[in-house]
Amino acid sequence: MVSQDIAERARILREQINHHSYRYYVLDNPEIPDAEYDRMFRELQELESANPGLLTPDSPTQRVGGLPLSGFSQVQHRKPMLSLNNAFDEAEVTAFDRRVREAAGQDYIEYEADPKFDGLAISLVYENGVFIQGATRGDGYTGEDVTLNLRTVAAIPLRIASDNPPALLEVRGEVLMQHKDFEALNDAQRSKGEKTFANPRNAAAGSLRQLDSRITASRKLTFFAYGMGEVQGFKLPEKFSDILDQLKQWHFPVAEQSEVVKGVDGMLGYFMRLGNKRDSLPFDIDGVVYKVNDLKLQDELGFVSRAPRFAIAHKYPAQEEITQVLDIDVQVGRTGAITPVARLAPVFVGGVTVTNATLHNEDEVRRKDVRIGDWVSVRRAGDVIPEVVSVMHERRTSDAREFVMPKACPVCGSHVVREEGEAVARCTGGLYCPAQRKQALLHFASRRAMDIEGLGEKVVDQLVDNGLVHNPAELYKLGLGKVANLERMAEKSASNLLAAIDKSRSTTLARFIFALGIRNVGEATARDLARHFGNLDALIGADEEALMRVTDVGPIVAQSIAQFFGESHNREVIEQLRAAGVQWADETARSSKIGHLSGKAFVLTGTLPNMTREEAKERIEAAGGKVTGSVSKKTDYVVAGTEAGSKLTKAQELGIPVLDEEGLNNLLDQ
């Protein structure tokens, strides 16, 4: 006697599975990830297996998928397109192999192993080599006639490549969309203000089931064959792997990842190898399929209920799961980018337990309409950061709260700003913000900024992680003892680093401005600012209107500069740097003497004996000249050192004056 609680649970599961089958197979608009559906289906299977009285003819475990759409005519499959039983761990694969071996009376079995595509299963019918009809799987027995749409898929042959084709051939396979085509389609949808697709499977299904085949033709679908249905006028080979080889010969695309393997060890080895490649494949897969390779043995094993006994699908850990958003806060990146992050109820997805998922930016939060308290679908693929794919709006409660972007950085308290035309909001803390500390130090020490040799990423990591340096000014307070105690830093290396830091105290105003790491201010803009204002105090005191009088400085750059110097934290660090002895000569003291090369274009090539290219470039630019990377008719001088290459040859061909180091010095000293 079945208890009332178990019977009620079975009834609820049937209702849920039927609902989600309809959403998935008929509407192509699933509400839940595949893993959630699989769990409900397995639970109902187990209940019915333990309680045979629960089994009814209309149970979803007794059929495949849903009914076809009324917009297409129906097609009766010549042979049923039944789905496969699933295995989710090694024990279930081992049990499958044991059942096959026992039924066959053999010590080991040879299997054909293939990727399990995450697309839309279809059947293609050819008469005398000509494609006449294509249909979706539908409920496994009756599908939808999508012949006109399938004709637009370039990967599907319209005629079999054979002088003697079968009288009738039914090819089974999968229509799908590759990652690059999926991204291009969503970009196009966004540009037209139309709905985007959640994943490539939905995009492929939605494209194939358009009533207007011209829409299907405009989208890049592909196809892979993985078997045959009804065949007349052709003798089948003895091995299933030979069927795939025959399909290749007839010019049907077949997955190059297919392999013939032996026994359970061969199956599990294939599963692991393909899993390691999964994230680099051009299309989505959600598992692998093992089929007994001996076709005679396949016939002997036959079918059970809704699935064959000779094949099984081995599923990878789900890459998409459902969980609840407990909160939404923000993270501050190394460059100051403010990223909304969903804090989630722990969920196992993609092989790990996930508690956080990125929401990318404020616009994305609004577009997906993610709120605190919502139930959401979360996706994780390989090493990719988990992200919220979609919201289950039907489960939203009245107390769900909208996310509000903070106006102040949660790490340092500086203003959060979002520039016009940008999707990302940023902290303006710059030199002060702890979240940006490592990036600020690395930029400050870089060759084109303060040029502190030896202050690389590993050293900066240790200085910050050990609490020795909190901003660039504190570099100049370091002592030999603390630096020498760093990992892999002997006393000599520490002395060299401290000497490089000390040397950097003497710099140029342009280098110092660039070293500050002001957003949108590169080397060229830093030089223009130095020349225009002449000294740092004038630059700090300039408003946006004054800043826009500088060459090539527009509203966005002017706003970035004003915001940077408007933060008291940043001005405080600058004063600390000055107090530490960082100094430079004001540009105004030299500008009247060295602007005589204004408007002249130089190209540097080869190695100069007594100065680096960077030093030569600085001197030329300080005199008003401009250094470019290639020789043209607009070039005024080419400065050539030893081992000068094609640039020197081109200069000679164009008759452009060529200077050595002495000639450059003479020109600069005029």
Do 253 and 120 share a structural domain?
Answer: yes
pLDDT tens digit sequence for 478-492: 999 889 989 888 889
* pLDDT top residue among 444 and 609: 444
Residue 67 clears pLDDT 70, i.e. is over it: no
> How confident is the model at residue 25, as a pLDDT?
59
Q: Which of 39, 62, 85 is the last residue of a domain?
A: 62
Whole-number pLDDT of residue 18: 78
pLDDT of residue 489: 85
The predicted-structure confidence for 248-295, as pLDDT tens digits, reads as follows 999 999 999 999 999 999 999 999 999 999 988 999 998 999 999 999
Residue pLDDT, tens place only, 502-522: 999 999 999 999 999 998 898
20 and 156, same domain (yes or no)? no
Same domain, 515 and 448: yes
Where residue 1 falls among pLDDT bands split at 50, 70, 90?
A: low
H or E element, residue 208: helix 200-208
Split at pLDDT 50, 70, 90, the class of 444 is very high
Q: Exposure of 187 by Cβ count < 10 A (0-12 exposed, 13-18 middle, 19+ buried)?
A: exposed
Cα-Cα-Cα-Cα dihedral of 495, 500, 506, 508, to 10°? -170
Under the banding of pLDDT at 50, 70 and 90, the label for residue 591 is: very low
Whether residues 397 and 437 fall in one domain: no
pLDDT at 590 over 60: no
Q: How confident is the model at residue 307 (pLDDT cuts 50, 70, 90)?
A: confident
Assigned domain for 496 exists: yes
What is the rounded average pLDDT of the residues 80-88?
A: 90
- Mean local confidence (pLDDT), 32-57: 86
Which CATH number goes with the domain that contains 103?
Answer: 3.30.470.30
Within a domain: residue 164?
yes
Q: Which pLDDT value is given to residue 588?
A: 57
Structural domain contains residue 45: yes
- Co-location of 581 and 606 in the same domain: no
Query: By the 8 A CB rule, do 54 and 43 touch?
Result: no
Residue of higher predicted confidence among 7 and 351: 7
Does residue 327 sit in the same domain as residue 443?
no
| Cβ burial 327-353 (10 Å sphere, 16+ → b, else e) | ebebebeeebbbbbbbebeebebbeee
**Helix H segments across 22-160?**
34-50, 90-104, 147-150
Instruction: Give me the DSSP letters along 591-622.
Output: HHHH-TTTT-EEEEESB-SSS-HHHHHHHHHH
The answer to whether residue 365 scores a pLDDT higher than 90 is yes
Percentage of the chain beyond pLDDT 70 is 95
Instruction: Report pTM.
Output: 0.58
Per the annotation, the verdict on 116 as an active-site residue is: yes
In a domain, 370, yes or no: yes
436 in helix, strand or coil? helix
Confidence at 592, pLDDT banded by 50, 70, 90: very low
pLDDT bucket at 41, cuts 50 / 70 / 90: confident
Q: Mind listing the pLDDT tens digit for each residue in 212-247?
A: 888 888 889 999 999 999 999 999 999 999 999 999
Q: Are residues 183 and 310 in the same domain?
A: yes
Q: How many CB atoms lie within 10 A of CB 462?
A: 17
Determine which one of 79, 116, 438, 600 is catalytic: 116
Partners of residue 261 on adjacent β-strands: 111
pLDDT (tens digit per residue) in 112-156: 999 999 999 999 999 999 999 999 998 888 999 999 899 899 899
Question: Would 420 be classed as within a structural domain?
Answer: no
Query: Of 548, 568, 588, which marks where a domain is finished?
Result: 588
CATH number at residue 27: 1.10.287.610
pLDDT attached to residue 190: 85
Place of tokens 């392999």: 259
Q: For residues 334 and 658, which has the higher predicted lDDT (pLDDT)? A: 658
Residue type, 572: E
Mean pLDDT value of segment 45-57: 84
Over residues 26-35, the mean pLDDT reads 78
Q: CA 520 → CA 164, 174, 241, 495, 559, distances in Å?
A: 67, 48, 58, 35, 10
Domain ends where: 563, 588, 613? 588
Nearest-angstrom CA–CA distance, 549 and 551? 6
11 and 91 both lie in a single domain: no
Structural domain containing residue 579: 427-588
Q: In CATH, what number is assigned to the domain containing residue 657?
A: 3.40.50.10190
- In a domain? residue 100: yes
Q: How confident is the model at residue 383 (pLDDT cuts 50, 70, 90)?
A: low
Question: Are 226 and 180 members of one domain?
Answer: yes
Tally the domains of the chain: 5
pLDDT at residue 57, rounded to an integer: 66
Residue 317 per-residue DSSP state: P
**Sequence-distant (≥ 6) Cβ neighbours of residue 552 within 8 angstroms:** 524, 525, 528
Distance of CA 133 to the CA centre of its chain: 37
Query: Is 235 in the same domain as 350?
Result: no
CATH number at residue 349: 2.40.50.140
How large is the average pLDDT for residues 549-554? Answer: 84
What is the pLDDT at residue 83? Answer: 87
Q: Residues for the chain: how many in total? A: 670
